[in-house]
Amino acid sequence: MSEQALNGGAEPAQANGPQFSVEKIYVKDVSFESPKTPHVFNEQVQPQINMNLNQRVQRLGDNVFEVVLGINLTCTAGEGEGNSVYVVEVQQAGVFALAGFEPNVLDALLGTQCPNVLYPYARQLIGELIQAGGFAPFLLQPINFDALYAEGLRQRQAQGGGDLASSETVGNA
């Protein structure tokens, strides 16, 4: 450790090495709907949860990117129209500075590490919204963003390219 760092000053960053930093984390958009309340609280049905996950990356500057992790969670009960118990939509976003990375490494970081940083914030917010809506606590399970990125990369290569780390996944929770 340098003498400057010991005396309370920041150690100078290596100018030539790769750098990854989180500049800002914020909620870009949030929505909670429960169209069947209060009647749904009296129903005895087994709810089904469906989750859609998507990600967008936007370059804000030479080495600055906004990553938006979108999670749409729909809880339904029964069959047919009007069966939504609740719908939660969250767009958790962050601004990340990434400098000194090769393009393929940069793409991988935007598609894996950035959503890994954002996911716990989105997960907590979704849990709080569901509980505030009067429903039992719901905890989203961990997501393997490395596997999702690898699958998205295979799909992009099969289609001949695509935007940096943009992907969409649909699944059941």
Q: pTM, whole model, 2 decimals?
A: 0.81
DSSP letter, residue 9: P
Report all structural domains of the chain as residue ranges with CATH numbers, in order of start: 15-163 (3.10.420.10)
Per-residue pLDDT of the chain (173 residues; tens, 9 = 90+): 444 444 444 444 455 789 999 999 999 999 999 998 898 888 887 889 999 999 999 999 999 999 999 999 999 987 766 688 999 999 999 999 999 999 999 999 999 999 999 999 999 999 999 999 999 888 899 999 999 999 988 988 888 765 555 554 445 44
**CA separation for the pair 169, 51 (Å, rounded):** 9
